[in-house]
């Protein structure tokens, strides 16, 4: 499905800007095996920001981002005429089995995030710090004829991200480094027992990265290589099953890329990304998955318009079961420069 991003900025006076933006994403999917569910994803996020330049090399900013994320899964009676048998789990031990001809599960997340940024932009050295905090609430409902509550999930987030870049004057080499700390606590309850904490899943992540880019002047070609290591400390309390689990694992990301410019107007890009052992989105535990992505892009600056096209193809392999999942995506950016 399509994804759209709109951004707007306005200078109030010298050294002071305001901005606003909207991201909207909708896509659908249909599995071809029983029970042939139809998945509908709808995502929207707004952003309102203020930027202030107190000195020539410094920039400070604040932003607020409300978010709504909806996922709906529909089960219809298949052509064979069988009822859909749905197994629902709340943790590892609490489960229920239902049979329906038609069934819908809906997940709606409402979140609010605030960011504070500080940037230093020197001649040879630049750095930026972004500190984000936020809160999200997710309601899960199911329906055959009427909507019924199924689950509730809440998360609190703190995220501090530091990036630095050093480019020696007159050199074609640029070196970048990053450091990040994330602390998140998610917990869930069942609607029928809202006074009882069913699931608690706090985790902390420490990350460090290093990247190097080099410009081959003779060929007008930019080459980039980057490596990121993410250390996770994860705890899970499954009170419904009286279980405690913890994980301490390292996730690694490697990227390489090329960009070829022609007449400083057109740009052709290609890249490769490899991710080892990512963390599961919902139950914050590691998954033994390898993900490979190939990217390609094209950019052009024509008549005051900056146009960028981006394409991604990814393949994820579940090492424990040899299952594979493919992903294909693309995006187009249009940027207009106005005086």
Query: What's the whole-number mean pLDDT along residues 41-62?
Result: 95
Q: How far apart are CA 272 and CA 291, in angstroms?
A: 11
Distance from the first to the final alpha carbon of the chain: 34
Taking only the tens place, the pLDDT of each residue in 10-33 is: 999 999 999 999 999 888 877 666
DSSP 29-51: EE-SSTT--EEEEEEEEEEEEEE
- Taking every pair of Cα atoms in the chain, the longest distance, rounded to a whole number of angstroms, is 72
Number of H helices, E strands in the chain: 0, 17
Q: How far apart are CA 277 and CA 270, in angstroms?
A: 24
Q: How far apart are CA 152 and CA 139, in angstroms?
A: 5
Mean pLDDT across the chain? 85
Q: How far apart are CA 45 and CA 5, in angstroms?
A: 9
Which has more pLDDT, 319 or 48?
48
Query: What's the whole-number mean pLDDT along residues 158-183?
Result: 93
Q: How far apart are CA 50 and CA 223, in angstroms?
A: 34
Among 27-31, 113-117, 166-170, 333-337, top mean pLDDT goes to: 113-117
Tell me the torsion sign for CA atoms 298, 299, 303, 304. Answer: positive
Residues 6+ apart with CB under 8 A from 195: none
> Which has the closest alpha carbon to 90: 190, 161, 162?
190
Q: What is the percentage of the chain residues whose pLDDT exceeds 90?
A: 44
**Is 91 a residue whose pLDDT tops 80?**
no
Rounded to 5 degrees, what angle do the CA atoms 291, 161, 235 make? 65
Q: What is the pLDDT of residue 160?
A: 98
Reduce the DSSP state of residue 320 to 3 states and report it: coil
Banded model confidence at residue 193, pLDDT cuts 50, 70, 90: low
Q: How far apart are CA 70 and CA 189, in angstroms?
A: 19
**Alpha carbons within 13 A on the beta-carbon side of 199:** 21
Query: What's the whole-number mean pLDDT along residues 47-55?
Result: 96
Q: How far apart are CA 146 and CA 143, in angstroms?
A: 5
- Phi, psi dihedrals of residue 33, rounded to the nearest 5°: -110, 160
Reduce the DSSP state of residue 193 to 3 states and report it: helix
Q: What is the pLDDT of residue 244?
A: 84
Taking only the tens place, the pLDDT of each residue in 268-322 is: 999 999 988 666 544 555 566 778 899 999 999 888 888 999 999 988 776 655 5
Taking only the tens place, the pLDDT of each residue in 214-271 is: 998 888 899 999 999 999 888 888 887 788 888 888 888 999 999 998 888 899 999 9
pTM reported for the whole predicted model: 0.78
Q: Answer yes or no: are the C-beta atoms of 172 and 215 closer than 8 Å.
A: yes
Q: Answer yes or no: are the C-beta atoms of 185 and 163 closer than 8 Å.
A: no
Q: How far apart are CA 212 and CA 231, in angstroms?
A: 22
Q: What is the pLDDT of residue 219?
A: 85
DSSP 100-150: ESSEEEEEEEEEEEEEEEEEEE-SSEEEEEEEEEEEEEEEEEEESSSEEEE
* Residue the block writes with tokens 């079961």: 321
Q: What is the pLDDT of residue 3?
A: 78
**Is 65 a residue whose pLDDT tops 80?**
yes
Q: What is the pLDDT of residue 282?
A: 47
């Amino acid at each position: 499905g399509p994804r759209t991003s709109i951004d707007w900025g306005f200078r109030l006076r010298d050294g002071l800007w305001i901005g606003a933006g909207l991201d909207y994403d909708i896509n659908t999917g249909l599995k071809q095996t029983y029970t042939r569910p139809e998945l509908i994803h709808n995502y929207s996020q707004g952003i309102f920001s203020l930027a202030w330049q107190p000195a020539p090399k410094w920039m400070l900013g604040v932003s607020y981002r409300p978010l709504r994320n909806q996922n709906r899964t529909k089960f219809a009676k298949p052509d064979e005429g069988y009822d859909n048998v749905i197994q629902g789990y709340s943790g590892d031990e609490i489960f229920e089995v239902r049979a329906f001809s038609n069934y819908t599960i809906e997940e709606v997340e409402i979140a609010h995030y605030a960011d504070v940024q500080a940037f230093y932009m020197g001649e040879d050295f630049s750095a930026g710090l972004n500190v984000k905090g936020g809160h999200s609430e997710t309601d899960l409902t199911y329906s055959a004829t009427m909507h019924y509550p199924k689950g509730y999930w809440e998360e609190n987030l703190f995220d501090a991200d530091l990036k630095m870049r050093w480019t020696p004057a007159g050199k074609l080499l640029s070196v970048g480094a990053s450091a990040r700390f994330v602390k998140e606590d998610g917990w869930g309850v069942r609607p029928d027992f809202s006074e009882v904490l069913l699931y608690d899943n706090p985790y902390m992540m420490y990350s460090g990265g290093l990247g190097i880019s080099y410009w081959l002047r003779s060929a007008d070609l930019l080459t980039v290589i980057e490596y990121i290591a993410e250390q996770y400390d994860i705890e899970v309390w499954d009170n419904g099953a009286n279980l405690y689990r913890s994980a301490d694992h390292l996730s690694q990301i490697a990227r390489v890329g090329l960009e070829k410019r022609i007449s400083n107007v057109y740009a052709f890009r290609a890249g490769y990304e490899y991710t080892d052992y990512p963390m599961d989105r919902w139950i914050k535990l590691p998954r033994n998955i390898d993900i490979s992505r190939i990217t390609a892009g094209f950019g052009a600056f024509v008549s005051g318009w900056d146009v960028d096209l981006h394409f991604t193809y990814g393949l994820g392999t579940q090492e424990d079961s040899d299952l594979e999942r493919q992903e294909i995506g693309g995006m187009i950016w249009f940027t207009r420069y106005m005086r």
